[in-house]
Structure 1
Amino acid sequence: MNAPTRPVFATCDLCDAFENDTTGSFRVLPPVFNDYGAIGKFCGPVVTLRCLEDNSRVREAVNSPGFLETPQGCVGRVLVIDGAGSLRRALVGGNLAAAAARNGWAGIVVDGAVRDLTELREAQVGIRALALVPMRTAKRDEGQADIAVQIQGTWVRPGDWLYADEDGIVVAAQALHN
């Protein structure tokens, strides 16, 4: 695997370019996510999960290849986790972040909590979440993959492209960069 390329983009510029979009193909996530990863700017095609306080599906995802080989090169994917905004248990911790980095994921966005801040900051992957909480999840082998999810009121679908930088997170129905 070649290292994923890191495209140049700015979410502010993307918002300026698509501010008049009325199709719903361009969406902005609310500014409620905190940056916990070593990579502050990331983008890629979306893989979705829905899981409440059980990270069994998250473990499966980050232990699988997180990249796609395309004619333009290797592209890291972004795992978007609908944790229903729960702050009771962390869906991603240091071990899962390290696995995501090792397997080529560009980033993880959690509508919920994460833990192990020192380890998250060492893993070479972008991580956004609502908050930190030290409690780990239960392991009940529950959750759904590859479905449309609503993240803080905004629809995110498998195959969408997610762009995250210091100004925020936007989602589009297709890649918006070269």
Structure 2
Amino acid sequence: MKSTCDISDQLHPHVQYLDPIFKSYGGKTAFSGRIVTIKCFEDNSLVEEALKMNGKGCVLVVDAGESLRCAMLGDKRASDAIKNEWEGIVVNGSIRDSVMINSMAIGIRALGVCPRKSIKKGNGKRNLTVDFSNVKFIPNHYLYADEDGVIVIENKVNS
């Protein structure tokens, strides 16, 4: 995988940069793939559904409305992601079980941690454009994450 710095240098006018407020979790510090989106607030039902599906070549982007009051995923969902070959996860909110997740072969970016689990009422939407942290996440565009940051580029620029 090319570094985010190299991609930025090569494609600068077409690159969006996630604000550097997201913390890195999991044993993988670098990941990339096609974007799959979920928009939900304090309900991780759709996150669970998505991570139980094949995610090969994809990164799940969860817009949880910046909520720090409960976690959108923990070690069980991270295990699902690994089992189903997701490349990584970006959460505009919290995760939990961070010590366990940090020993797992998955890359996750999130705003922080919270021990409280979310509700499960099936609320939320999937595969729509979500916008947070100065980035517009469009399904099937590409996300790259490494130690230097998280960037998004358009699908047509990547091909």
Taking structure 2 as the reference length, the TM-score comes to 0.95
What is the identity, as a one-letter code, of the residue corresponding to 2:144?
Answer: Y
- Alignment of structure 1 residues 53-72 onto 2, 5 Å: 53-67=42-56
Task: Could you tell me which runs of 5 or more consecutive residues in structure 2 were left unpaired when the two chains were aligned.
Answer: none
Structure 1 residues 104-115: aligned runs within 5 Å: 104-115=85-96
- Aligned match of 1:15: 8
Question: Aligned Cα RMSD in Å?
Answer: 1.5
Q: 1:177 Cα deviation (Å)?
A: 6.8
Give the number of the structure whose alpha-carbon radius of gyration is greater.
1
Relative to 1, partners in 2 of residues 1:42 and 1:176: Cα closer, same or farther, differing over 3 Å?
Answer: farther
Task: Map 1:127-166; keep pairs closer than 5 Å.
Answer: 127-166=108-147
Retained in 2: the 8 A contact 1:9–1:177? no
SS class of match (1:92): coil
- CA deviation vs aligned residue, 1:79-130 (integer Å, no higher than 9, x gap): 0000111101100101000100010000000000000012211321111100
**Equivalences for residues 17-96 of structure 1 within 5 A:** 17-19=10-12, 21=13, 25-67=14-56, 76-96=57-77
> Unaligned 5+ residue runs, structure 1?
1-7, 68-75
Matches of 1:159 and 1:60, distance apart in 2? 18
* Separation in 2, partners of 1:26, 1:48: 18
Give the residue type in structure 1 aligned to 2:46.
R
Number of residues paired by the alignment?
159
Q: Take 2:55 and 2:104, find their aligned partners in 1: how far apart are those partners?
A: 14
In proportion to residue count, which structure has more helix? Answer: 2
- Once residues 161 and 175 of structure 1 are traced to their aligned partners in structure 2, the CA distance between those partners, rounded to angstroms, is 10
